């Protein structure tokens, strides 16, 4: 069993695996200010919905440390500014706002305390978010393992592993658990253009674990599905609407269409913090568009002609009717999603 520590907070520094460098080199990116955390999230030093939420929580801790020498009013004002900045670092992943809302609640509930006590409360909450995420992912892994048959061939897209979370992973957490339990599995990992997270990150994680893996170009997946070579598809999520519509890495929707056509089970794997109880459907999800260079260049080398127009959405929305189930830490949510997802709101598993 290989433990991948996506991040570590120590001595008022947030240490992040620099995911821009993998798999060529393993480098650590250090954040000593909330501005550096904001940069790390925007530039995808750290990525994956649960991971950026946890990183943002520690960004608030760093902000509190930065402004501890200010007077109380200025300290609180600066914290509020830092929260707003971190909130806007990436728009699609709801875990980011879920985490900053938790940090904001701690600050608002302890404004009467001395600055040092507020800082300590903030640090405790960030550590809770970190530890809860790892435990949540392990529960997700155990729940998801129940739908993985022995000798299963699994397809996954992008990276929903330890690198996308505080640890263990969501979709890859299910795969890890199946492997740890001795199931004879094979994983096909889509390369995931344009940033190649499947090729650079998922393949790296699975290779580190010794899990049998084959890396494929994105446009191979449909052929494998058609030829009955895939038993189940597992993907992560950045935001899930009440009706089950799910935003995930661009290309996920396309896989779901082919899976539905050929009756291959298609599962979303995510914590309940990825459910946005404030939106009814995927039509309300803001899709981030990223810079042209992600498409026109690979590792700094231009692969497209100068002047060509680029459309580069980072995510797409898979409609609920294409989804077999949503694997969360509480179990497996099945259709009708708009009824069954709301059960978790009633249990106060909420993003607020």
Instruction: Give me the active site residues, please.
Output: 238
Rounded distance, CA 235 to CA 253, Å? 11
CB 189 within 8 A of CB 246: no
What is the DSSP annotation of 231-286?
SEEEE--SEE-TTS-EEEETTHHHHHHHHHHTT--EEEE--GGGB-TT-SSGGGPP
Distances (CA, A) of 62 to 10, 11, 13, 30, 56: 11, 10, 8, 12, 10
CB 237 within 8 A of CB 156: no
For the record, the structure tokens of 284 come out as 């309300």
Sign, Cα dihedral of 140, 1, 56, 122: positive
Q: Which residues contact 166 (CB under 8 A, 6 or more apart)?
A: 6, 7, 50, 51, 54, 129, 130, 131, 133, 134, 137
DSSP for residue 320: G
Within a 10 A sphere around the Cβ of 3, how many other Cβ atoms?
A: 8
């Amino acid at each position: 069993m290989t433990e991948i520590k996506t991040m570590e907070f120590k001595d008022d520094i947030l240490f992040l695996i620099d995911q821009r460098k993998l798999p060529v080199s393993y480098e650590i990116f250090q954040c000593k200010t909330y501005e550096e955390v904001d940069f790390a999230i925007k530039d995808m030093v750290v990525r994956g919905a649960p991971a950026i939420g946890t990183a943002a929580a520690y960004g608030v801790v760093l902000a509190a440390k930065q402004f501890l020498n200010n007077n109380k009013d200025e300290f609180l004002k600066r914290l509020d500014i830092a929260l707003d900045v971190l909130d806007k670092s990436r728009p699609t992943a709801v875990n980011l706002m879920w985490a900053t809302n938790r940090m904001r609640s701690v600050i608002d509930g302890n404004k009467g305390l001395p600055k040092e006590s507020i800082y300590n409360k903030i640090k405790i909450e960030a550590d809770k978010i970190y530890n809860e995420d790892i435990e949540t992912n392990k529960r997700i892994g155990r729940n998801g393992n129940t739908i993985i048959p022995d000798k299963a061939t699994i397809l996954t897209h992008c990276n929903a592993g330890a690198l996308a979370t505080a640890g263990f992973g969501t979709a890859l957490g299910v795969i890890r658990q199946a492997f740890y339990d001795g199931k004879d599995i094979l994983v096909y990992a889509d390369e995931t253009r344009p940033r190649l997270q499947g090729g650079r990150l998922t393949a790296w994680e699975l290779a580190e674990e010794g899990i049998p893996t084959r890396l494929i170009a994105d446009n191979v997946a449909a052929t494998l599905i058609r030829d009955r070579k895939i038993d189940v598809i597992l993907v992560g999520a950045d935001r899930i609407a009440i009706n089950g519509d799910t935003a995930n890495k661009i290309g996920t929707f396309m896989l779901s269409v082919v899976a539905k056509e050929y009756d291959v089970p298609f599962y979303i794997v995510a914590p309940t913090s990825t459910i946005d109880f404030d939106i009814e459907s995927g039509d309300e999800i803001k899709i981030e568009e990223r810079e042209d260079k992600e498409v026109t260049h690979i590792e700094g080398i231009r692969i497209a002609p100068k002047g060509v127009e680029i459309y580069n959405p980072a995510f797409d929305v898979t409609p609920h009717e294409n989804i077999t189930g949503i694997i969360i830490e509480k179990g497996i949510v099945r259709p009708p999603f708009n009824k069954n997802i709301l059960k978790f709101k009633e249990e106060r598993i909420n993003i607020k």
